[in-house]
Structure 1
Amino acid sequence: MPWIDEHVAPVSSDVCDLIKHRVKQLSPRRPDQQQSSRLVNDLRDSLLDFLKKNKKQPFFRSVTVLNSGSYYETVKINYPNEFDMMLLLPTPRLTWIELEEYHGLHYSVSLVRPTRSEVQAFLLDDGLIISASRILCGMRCLVKNFISTYKVPEGVGRWVLNRKLPSSPAVTLSLMCSAQDADQESELMSVDIVPALEVPESQGWPLAAQHGLQVDNWLGKKARRDLTKQCFYFVPKKPKGRNLSNTAKESWRISFSHIEKQIIKNHGHARTCCEAPATKCCRKRCLMLLKCLIEGLKVRFPDELERLCSYHGKTVFLHTLSKRGNDSQWAPSDLPSSFMALLSALEDHVSNSELPHFFIPAYNLFAAPAFPRKALSCLQRALDEQRKLGLPLLKLPSPAHPLTINPSPPDPPLCTERDNSQTKNMTT
C-alpha cells in the first residue's frame, strides 16, 4: 500500500483559490434535496406496498429497505440525481464458498439445509444454491409491473425502467421529464434498486474480510471491533470478464455499503468531529472534490476511463483517512493541502497499479480485467497533466439545472457526478 507523505508540497495560491471556490459549489441546493427526497421516498413507499401485495413472487413480500450511496453519506456533489436502494430479502440461514480467483470478493451462496419456503423458486437444481440471476430477474419483473401503473405525485414526469446491464446488481429506474422539444425527454434522476441477502452478525465475516477495515489509527480498535461485529450483505453482481464459469455467473458479491456510510458520516478520530463549528474538519469536502475530479476525467476520457468510478475515489479516501487519522490533519483551513494529499494518494495507488479493497485487502481494484492496464496508464497520464496544469477540471462548470418541470437542457458541465452506467454499481 502506498505510503502517505505527511509533508505535502506547498500548494500554489492559484490552486488554493480554485479549491476553495470550487468546494463552495459542490453541495446540492436545499430545495433540490427536498424535492428529490419526496420523489424517491414516495417511489420507495409505493414499491414496498406493491411488493407486499404481489401474488406472483411471494418471496419479495417481506423485503425491507436499506438506503446507501453518496446522497445518504452526505457527500453527493452538484445536485441529488442518483439514489441507491438496497432491498433486503428474507432468507433462512446461509453458507457461502469463496470463488478463489476473485480474492474474497465473489461467493457462491447457499442455504444451510433444504427448505420449502418461498426462496425455493430461486434455487438452482441442487436445491441449495441461491441463483443471483434468478433473484435479479424476479426483482426486475416485479419492478416492471409496478412502474407500469405508478404515477409521480408532483406530475414532474414518469419513471421508466432502464435496460439491463451486464454484471450490474441493480434494477435501474430513471425519472424522465419532457424537454422544450415535445419529442424529447431528459433524465432528472435515477434510482438503483439492488436486491440483497443479509448475513446476520452471529455468522461472522468471511475470512477474506477479517484483515480489512484497518481503522485502528483513525477510529480506534474498539470502533473496529464494533464494526466487524455487524452484519454484511451479498448482492447479485457477477465478476467482470468473459468466459465465466457457471458458478461465477450465479455468484454474489460481498457488500459493506452500510458500514461505509456509517464511517463516512461518523468520520472523526474524536467523536465530536463536525458536531459544532469549533470541531469542523474538511474530510468530506476533500472526498467531494476528488469525486468531482474523477467525474471530470470521465467526461474528458469517456472511452479510456470507462471503468473508473467514484468507488475508486472513495476507497482511496478511506485508505487515506486510516493513514492520516488525526482530526488536526484535516482542519478546514488546510483544505487545499489536505485535498492535494488525497490526490497524491490516488496518484500513488495508480502508479503502483494497486488499490486494495478497503474491506477485502487481497482484492486489487486496479487489477485487470476489472481495470485494464491501458485505462490505468491513461489515468496516470491524466492525473499528471492535471497537477501540472493546476487542476483545470476543477474549474467551475455551468450551473447545474435544478429539478424542475420541463427544464431547459443544460450545457454539458465539465464536472458532474453522472457515473457511467456501465460502472456506477461499484458502490455495492
Structure 2
Amino acid sequence: PLGPAPTFGPREAAPGAWRPRAVLETLRLSRQEISAAAEVVNRVVDHLVQRLQRCESEFRGVTLLRTGSYYERVKISSPNEFDVMFKLEVPRIQLEEYCNSGAHYFVKFKRNPKGNPLSEFLEEEILSASKMLSKFRKIIKEEIKHIEDTDVIVERKRRGSPAVTLLISKPKEIAVDIILALESKSSWPASTKEGLPIDNWLGVKVRNTLRRQPFYLVPKHAKEGNGFQEETWRLSFSHIEKDILKNHGQSKTCCEINGVKCCRKDCLKLMKYLLEQLKKKFRNRKELDKFCSYHVKTAFLHVCTRDPADSQWRCEDLELCFGSCVAYFLHCLETERLEHYFIPGVNLFSPHQIEKPSKEFLSKQIEYERSNGFPVFGEF
C-alpha cells in the first residue's frame, strides 16, 4: 500500500508567485474551436462505424465508446487530439494472465462452436491481438478513401501502439486515435480485486456498481525482452475513469449547477499541462519519452482517494491542492512507485517500466518549477 504522501502547510507555498487561475484561463478551449473539431471527428468516426457495421467483416458488431480527455472534460491546449474506442462484444471468453503481469492477458474462447466470427484471428486457441489489429487497420485504410470533403490519412503504425491513428488535415490538423477494444461482460479479472480504492471517497455502493460494468481489452502488447508479445491484450478501464471524473464529488451535487464547485478537475488539468510543457521543453532529450498523461491521471486519482472530502478541494484552495498533487507525484517518482489505480499489483513506475535516471530527471525539473513558481506554464 502507498504510504501517506507529504502535504504542505500554507507557509510553504512556493516563492515565485504564479496565478493558477490565469494559467487555466489560457487552457480553456473556446467552445467554437471544440465544436468545430468535434464535428469533423464525429463525421469521420461515424462514417467508419457505419461502414464497419455494414461490411461483411468480423467487425460488423462494433459500436462506439467515447473515452479520453475530451469526453472527460479535462482536455487542455488545443482540440487537436481525440481518442475513440471501437468496441466489439466478445461473449464467452477465457483470460489467461501473461507472466503474472496483472494487466496483460491471452484471450481464448470457452466453447468454439463453428460460428465463431473471429476464428480467422486465432493462433492455435489464442485470439491474436496483432492479427486482429492489422485486419482492423486494413479495413480502416480502405474506408477512409470513401470519406468526402475531408482529407484523412492513416499514420504509419507505431510499434507497440494499440491505436490506428488518423490524421485529418482539413479543415485543420487533428489526430484521432482509434482503438479497437474487446468488451467482456464477465466479472473483472482477479488482479483488479483490490483496485479502484474509492470506498471512502465515492462510496462502497458506487464501487460495486462500477465493478458490475463490462471491462475492455485493447491490443496493447506486453513487453517481452526487447520486443513485444504480440498476441497479448491489455485491460482498459478508461470508461470507468470517465465515470469517476464526471461524478467526482463525495457529495452527489459537487460541481453541479447549484452545487458547490471543487477544484479537482482543475488540478488534473494543471498536472497534465505541467507534464505536457516539460515534454515540449525537453523534446530533444529522451528522458521524458516514457511519461504520459496517464501517469499524471493515476497519481491524481490516488490523491483523490487519500483526500476524499470535497472540503479538501475547495476552489479557493486551488494552489494548495495543486501543490499537494505535485508533491504526491514527486513522491511517486522518488520512491519509484505508482500503483495502477485498477490493478494495484502493477507498478507504473517500476524500474522495468521507466529507468531511474528518467524519473530523477523529471523529478528535478518539477522541483525546479515548483521552487520558481512554474515558469514553464508561460513558455511555448
TM class, shorter-length: over 0.9
1:214 matched to 2:197? yes
Contact 2:8 2:323 (8 Å CA) reproduced: no
* Residue-by-residue CA offset, 1:118-158 (whole Å, 9 max, x unaligned): 2111111x2x3111001100110001001122124xxxx51
* Cα offset, 1:34, TM superposition: 0.9
The separation in 2 between residues aligned to 1:323 and 1:291, in whole angstroms, is 19
Aligned counterparts of 1:284 and 1:328: Cα–Cα separation in 2: 14
Go from structure 1 to structure 2 and tell me whether the alpha carbon gap of 1:278 and 1:16 turns closer, same or farther (over 3 Å shift): farther
Alignment check: 8 A CA contact 2:277 2:376 kept = yes
2:166 is the alignment partner of 1:168: no
Does the aligned pair in 2 maintain the 1:205–1:228 contact within 8 Å? yes
Aligned to 2:126, the other structure's residue is in SS state: coil
Whole-Å separation in 2 of the counterparts to 1:166 and 1:329: 42
1:113 aligned onto 2:96:
no
1:271 aligned partner:
252
Query: Which amino acid is the alignment partner of residue 315 of structure 2?
Result: P
3-state SS in 2 of match to 1:197: strand
Q: 1:311 aligns to what?
A: 294
For residue 78 of structure 2, what is the aligned residue in structure 1? 79
Q: 1:92 to 1:227 in 2, by over 3 A?
A: closer
Determine the structure 2 residue equivalent to 1:42: 43
Contact 1:11 1:337 in 2 (8 A): no
Whole-Å separation in 1 of the counterparts to 2:18 and 2:317: 12
* Map of 1:289 onto structure 2: 270
Shift of 1:331: 0.7
Distance 1:353 1:276 in 2: 40
Look up the match of 2:145.
148
Alignment of 1:177-216 (within 5 A): 177=170, 188-200=173-185, 203-216=186-199
SS at match of 1:230: coil
Q: Kindly provide the amino acid, as one letter, of the partner of residue 25 in structure 1.
A: T
Unpaired segments ≥5 residues, structure 2: none
Whole-angstrom distance in 2 between the partners of 1:378 and 1:115: 54
Deviation at 1:394, TM superposition (A): 1.6
Paired residues of 1:2 and 1:345 also in contact (CA < 8 A):
no
* Counterpart code for 1:291: K
Distance 1:341 1:68, change over 3 A: same
Residue matched to 2:238: 257
Q: Distance in 1 between matches of 2:313 and 2:17?
A: 15
Amino acid at match of 2:327: S
What SS does the corresponding residue of 2:175 show, helix, strand or coil? Answer: strand
Q: TM-score, normalised by structure 1?
A: 0.84
- Cα deviations across residues 215-271 of structure 1 (Å, max 9, x unaligned)? 1111011111111121101100002353457xx320000001100000011100000
Q: Over the residues paired in the alignment, what is the CA RMSD in angstroms?
A: 1.8
Contact 1:122 1:135 in 2 (8 A): yes
**1:300 maps to amino acid:** K
Verify the 8 A CA contact 1:16 1:336 in the aligned structure 2.
no
TM-score of the pair, normalised by structure 2: 0.94
Structure 1: which 5+ residue stretches go unaligned? Answer: 179-186, 398-412, 414-428
**What does the per-residue CA deviation read over 1:299-350, in whole Å, with 9 as the maximum and x for residues that have no partner?**
1222210001100000010000000100011111111111000100101111
Change in Cα spacing, 1:366 to 1:205, as seen in structure 2 (3 Å) is: same
Within 2, Cα distance between the matches of 1:62 and 1:149?
Answer: 20
Structure-2 separation of matches of 1:146 and 1:310: 31
Given that residues 85 and 192 in structure 1 are in contact (C-alpha distance below 8 angstroms), is that contact kept between their aligned partners in structure 2?
yes
Q: Is the 8 A contact 1:135 1:195 kept in 2?
A: no
| Cα distance, 1:17 vs structure 2 | 3.9
Shift of 1:51: 1.0
Partner of 1:327: 310
- Counterpart of 1:148 in 2: which secondary structure? helix
Distance 1:70 1:10 in 2: 34
State the 1:369 CA deviation: 3.3
1:80-107 deviation digits (Å, cap 9, x = unpaired) = 11111111123231010111342x0100
